[in-house]
């Protein structure tokens, strides 16, 4: 358990936080950008490819940032599998999860701050600009 509290582990948690933040920001931001550019029109094949490329590029950058520091998990399911397989301790896995979930939350809030969109256009749960 001492390994979970080392300076190297703290750097890994920060790397997972930043990696997940970047992935969520790029992925959700690409969907919102496409929606704004297309004027809310339904997703056509070229738009689907553009959004998929943005997601792929976001994941590439996120993993590239964290690969040498934390292993570049980005996904809590990957962290869960590695913890179950004994590659990382359960406590380290929990800290990775916290970092990844906080990174996703902050990434989503950054997208909301940058675009002013709180909800997906097809969801009626939230109003534009406020919760």
pLDDT at residue 39, as a whole number: 81
Collapsed DSSP state (helix, strand, coil) of residue 14? helix
pLDDT at residue 17, as a whole number: 97
pLDDT at residue 85, as a whole number: 96
CATH number of 2-115: 1.20.1080.10
Contact 47, 5 (CB under 8 A): no
* pLDDT tens sequence across 45-73: 988 999 999 999 999 999 999 999 999 99
Task: Output the pTM of the full model.
Answer: 0.84
| Distance separating alpha carbons of residues 68 and 83, to the nearest angstrom | 18
Given a cut of 50, the residues of the chain with pLDDT beneath it are 126, 130-131
**Alpha carbon 31 to chain centroid, angstroms:** 14
The HSE-up count of residue 42 (CA atoms within 13 Å, CB side) is 2
| Distance separating alpha carbons of residues 32 and 43, to the nearest angstrom | 12
Domain boundaries, the chain: 2-115
């Amino acid at each position: 358990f001492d390994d979970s509290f080392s300076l190297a582990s703290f750097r890994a948690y920060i790397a997972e936080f930043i990696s997940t933040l970047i992935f969520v920001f790029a992925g959700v931001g690409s969907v919102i950008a496409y929606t704004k550019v297309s004027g809310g029109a339904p997703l056509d094949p070229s738009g689907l490819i553009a959004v998929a490329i943005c997601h792929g590029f976001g994941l590439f950058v996120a993993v590239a940032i964290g690969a040498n520091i934390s292993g570049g998990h980005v996904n809590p399911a990957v962290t869960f599998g590695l913890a179950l397989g004994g590659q990382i301790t359960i406590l380290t896995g929990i800290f990775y999860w916290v970092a990844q979930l906080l990174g996703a939350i902050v990434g989503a809030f950054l997208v909301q701050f940058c675009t002013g969109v709180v909800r997906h256009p097809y969801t009626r749960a939230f109003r534009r600009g406020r919760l």
